[in-house]
Amino acid sequence: MTKEQRLKKRHSAERRFRLYGIASICVALLFVLILVNNIFSKGSSAFMKTVIDVEVFYDPELIEIENGASEENIREADFYDITIETLLKSYPTKNLDEENELIDLFTTDAEIEIKKAFLENNNLIGKKINLEITSSDDIDQLHKGNYPRDLPEDRRRISNFQLKIYDTLVENNKINKNFNNYYFNNGDSRDPELAGIGGALVGSFYSIIICLLLAFPVAILASIYLEEFAPKNKITDFIEININNLAAVPSIVYGLLALQILLATIQLPRSTPLVAGITLALMTLPRIIIPCRASLKAVPPSIREGALAVGASKFQSVFHHVVPLSLPGTLSGTIIGLAQALGETAPLILIGMVAFVVDIPSTPIDPSSSLPVQVYLWSESAERGFVEKTSATIMMLLSFLIVMNFIAVYLRQKFEKRWN
């Protein structure tokens, strides 16, 4: 091999090596793209729901209440007969089977929706109004184009008769898409069209607030101690080793800790945001202490010495000068720690947040779910409608995380002083 050939070979090796680097960065970026695209394309349709236009006649013979009845009376009244009557009128049927199939096109909460319309205007007895009733999950998915029509009938969840009704309804412009209020207001449900993330949102909110209240003060006090006051001795070393190790302990171990100490020993109520918040606080504590210490360390010694020189005590120099200067870094570290806590699932599963909770929690000691746990729960469900709901919940979760991280970056860039 001549000199030129060798050089050429070496140079092409150089180019190849460089290419590997570019390729692997591209693979990582591509994956981010695929993931986000996949989630968004599946989930964005969940923010709309399919509604069917029907005509409701509040037949005085079928309701036991009169115009102007009090709210309590209406709530107790039975609207079942009217509901069935209304739904059956929307398409001609021949026998009981067909009637059942027709009723199955609507949500199981149709009665509540008809009652709600009456609650808003209680002078409707004997009158007819047009109402948009939420469709069942199957029709919803069919209308959004997520459901294949061309399967043979026995492998479809929708019968030929139901398809025929659907087509007629579409032809008559009776099927529309509305904003999906159930998705944001409702708790969990076995019916995909009624399931919502209201409960999970509230649960996550409580958990994160409790986590913040517990973890932030302790973390900042601990990092001030370790960075500013701790003498160099065995105890301090031991505390430091402990913090570093705790930051790397798998999150599920914190779940076991919570199960044994918080639930079995102290007997706090299961499945509640309170327990979740404490567990997450224990988990995020070391993850907040590490950036807090770094930002305290970044404040130059001249600041401390200046304060001491004009007669401040050690405490005053730290709390009047060092801590305020480190605040942008500490806060952004805390927010990033909280963002991790918000997406944490495994420990919450162990403390029983996987329980099926329909009600929206009103206090932190009510059973509840949380956003990531809701993702896990729905992803295990077989119904097609839940796939869309899960993706939408992931979208919500990711957008919260993006906002939190954005605030953290902004705080740091806007307020942090550069010391050199």
Partner 1 sequence: MNFVLIFLIVIFSSSLFFYGKSKTKSISIQRNIKLNALPKFYGYYLVLWSSIPALVFLLVWSLFEPVIIKSIIIETAANQGAIFNDKNEANLIYEKIKAIHLGTYFGDIDTILKESAISYSKFLNIFTNSKIVLIFVTIIASVIFSLKKIRNNNKAREDVEKILKGLLFVSSLIAILTTLGIIFSLLFESIKFFSVINIFDYLFGTNWSPQRAFVSDASAITTAEYEELKDAFGFVPLIAGTSFIAFIAMFVAVPIGLFSGIYMAEYASSRVRKISKPIIEILAGIPTVVYGFFAALTVGPFFRQIGESIGLTVSSESALAAGLIMGIMIIPYISSLSDDVINSVPQSLRDGSYAVGATKSETIKQVVIPAALPGIIGSVLLAVSRAIGETMIVVMAAGLAANLTINPLESTTTITTQIVMILVGDQEFDSPKTQSAFALGLTLFVATLILNYIAQRAVKKYREKYD
Contacts of partner 1 in 245-284 (CB under 8 A): 245-246, 248-257, 259-261, 264, 266-267, 282
> Is residue 213 a contact point for partner 1 (CB under 8 A)?
no
> Is residue 230 a contact point for partner 1 (CB under 8 A)?
yes
CB of 115 vs partner 1, minimal distance in Å: 30
Comparing CA positions, the residue from 143, 179, 175 lying closest to residue 158 is 143
List 39, 65, 124, 195, residue binding partner 1 (CB under 8 A): 39
What whole-number distance in Å separates Cα of residue 231 and Cα of residue 237?
10
> Is residue 309 a contact point for partner 1 (CB under 8 A)?
no
What whole-number distance in Å separates Cα of residue 373 and Cα of residue 348?
7
Q: Record the tokens describing residue 230, joined without a space.
A: 């701790």
> Is residue 239 a contact point for partner 1 (CB under 8 A)?
yes
List 224, 278, 296, 357, residue binding partner 1 (CB under 8 A): 224
Q: Quickly count: other Cβ atoms within 10 Å of residue 7's Cβ.
A: 10
CB of 336 vs partner 1, minimal distance in Å: 8
CB of 134 vs partner 1, minimal distance in Å: 25
DSSP state of 366: S
> Is residue 201 a contact point for partner 1 (CB under 8 A)?
no
Phi-psi region of 397 (alpha: psi -120 to 50; beta: other; left: phi over 0): alpha
List 77, 112, 209, 354, residue binding partner 1 (CB under 8 A): 354
What whole-number distance in Å separates Cα of residue 68 and Cα of residue 66?
6
List 131, 200, 299, 350, residue binding partner 1 (CB under 8 A): 350
Long-range contact pairs involving 324-328 (C-beta distance under 8 Å, separation at least 24): 325/299, 325/417, 326/292, 326/295, 326/296, 326/298, 326/299, 327/415, 328/295, 328/411, 328/412, 328/414, 328/415, 328/416
> Is residue 63 a contact point for partner 1 (CB under 8 A)?
no
What whole-number distance in Å separates Cα of residue 165 and Cα of residue 90?
9
From 59-67, 93-101, 175-183, 220-228, give the range in contact with partner 1 by CB under 8 A. Answer: 220-228
> Is residue 349 a contact point for partner 1 (CB under 8 A)?
yes
From 35-43, 150-158, 159-167, 201-209, give the range in contact with partner 1 by CB under 8 A. Answer: 35-43
List 129, 209, 218, 308, residue binding partner 1 (CB under 8 A): 218
Comparing CA positions, the residue from 47, 42, 52, 50 lying closest to residue 180 is 47
> Is residue 362 a contact point for partner 1 (CB under 8 A)?
no
CB of 23 vs partner 1, minimal distance in Å: 7
What whole-number distance in Å separates Cα of residue 280 and Cα of residue 394?
20
CB of 327 vs partner 1, minimal distance in Å: 17
Each residue 162-191 as x (binds partner 1 by CB under 8 A) or -, in order, gives ------------------------------
Instruction: Give strand pairing partners of 55.
Output: 130
Q: How far is CA 242 from CA 99, 283, 285, 287, in A?
A: 67, 13, 12, 12
List 80, 179, 184, 315, residue binding partner 1 (CB under 8 A): 315
Q: How many residues bind partner 1 (CB under 8 A)?
A: 84
